[in-house]
Amino acid sequence: MTFSVDLHTDEELQEGLAKATPPWARIRGNGLLIVGLVIVAASLFLAVFGEALAPYDPQVPTGDIAQPPSAEHWFGTDATGLDIFSRVIAAPRTDVTIALAAAVVSLVAGTLIGLPAGFYRGFGSELIMRISDVIQSFPVFILAMILVALGGRSTINLVIALAFLYTPIFIRLTRSEVLSQRSRTYVESARALGNSEGRIALIHVLPNSLAPALIQASVTIGWGILLTAGLSFIGAGVRPPTPEWGLMISNGANGIILGEWWPSVFPGIAISLTVFGYAAVGNTLEQSYGS
């Protein structure tokens, strides 16, 4: 119920908040969020069980070369005889894992750097922000290519490169929330009660400043999947024959002029759906957080 009359005083505002719909009720009424959550859940499930569920070994050719989709090979087979369906559902182990790991690393690093940057303003804080500016001003894709080229093509290096790129986003989000939280009276109350500055920052301000970064993390996972696939597509990502969506599109690209659309189209749909799912979750959470 939106009880928008007379929302002048704090008391009324809080009464309004107390009466506000609980989170689960909001989820139930939001189709986009439900679709997003289903996709996110499916991607995480496949990251764990995808390979085990695959009807064929995703890395061993079946012998049926370049077959169109059929009852035997749901998504067809590619030019080397690998089963596309098996590879599409096995790929989240690579794509989602890399993106998830990169998002977690950058979330943790960004929060830990952003907290002091917002809480203690000064030269150090300015320096951190200017470095973030520099990192963010590079085109993401090119910087990722350079980082992988420097470190070598491995899963770990991809995670490091992606985390490096995304950390400034979390620094910025956390810092701006910390800046607004630190001027709240509860922070001054905490000081007056005898908390040390470090304790105020960690115990009081940090938990109240996490929401924007947590919401952003979901969107970042989507971006990370897209970037991982993109890097693999140009040959800067994981090595073949690892099942990976970008790599599959790249391999299948040559066949498209021969009419063999299935090796590229199915992994392409998988990428689109997954990125959409994470972005949908992030965006709807962001909207409900703001209201």
**Which residues of this chain interact with other proteins, rule CB under 8 A?**
1-6, 8-15, 17-18, 184-186, 188-196, 204, 207-208
Q: Do the beta carbons of residue 245 and residue 89 sit within 8 Å? A: no
Q: Do the beta carbons of residue 88 and residue 266 sit within 8 Å? A: yes
Whole-number Å distance between alpha carbons of 251 and 78 = 8
Whole-number Å distance between alpha carbons of 9 and 109 = 39
**Residue whose CB is less far from other proteins, 16 or 81:** 16
CB of 188 to other proteins, least distance (A): 6
**Residue whose CB is less far from other proteins, 12 or 72:** 12
**Residue whose CB is less far from other proteins, 98 or 210:** 210
Q: What are phi and psi of 89, to 5 degrees?
A: -85, -15
Q: Do the beta carbons of residue 220 and residue 103 sit within 8 Å? A: yes
**Residue whose CB is less far from other proteins, 137 or 185:** 185
Structure tokens at 249: 């599109």
CB of 133 to other proteins, least distance (A): 22
**Residue whose CB is less far from other proteins, 4 or 137:** 4
For 270, counting Cβ atoms within 10 Å of its Cβ (0-12 exposed, 13-18 middle, 19+ buried), the class is buried
CB of 15 to other proteins, least distance (A): 7
Structure tokens at 31: 């189709």
Structure tokens at 50: 């995808």
CB of 125 to other proteins, least distance (A): 16
For 143, counting Cβ atoms within 10 Å of its Cβ (0-12 exposed, 13-18 middle, 19+ buried), the class is middle
CB of 116 to other proteins, least distance (A): 18
**Residue whose CB is less far from other proteins, 5 or 257:** 5
**Residue whose CB is less far from other proteins, 15 or 72:** 15
**Residue whose CB is less far from other proteins, 21 or 154:** 21
CB of 9 to other proteins, least distance (A): 5
Whole-number Å distance between alpha carbons of 167 and 220 = 10
CB of 155 to other proteins, least distance (A): 36
Structure tokens at 242: 């690892």
CB of 197 to other proteins, least distance (A): 8
Whole-number Å distance between alpha carbons of 129 and 124 = 9
What is the number of other CB atoms lying within 10 angstroms of the CB of residue 232? Answer: 27
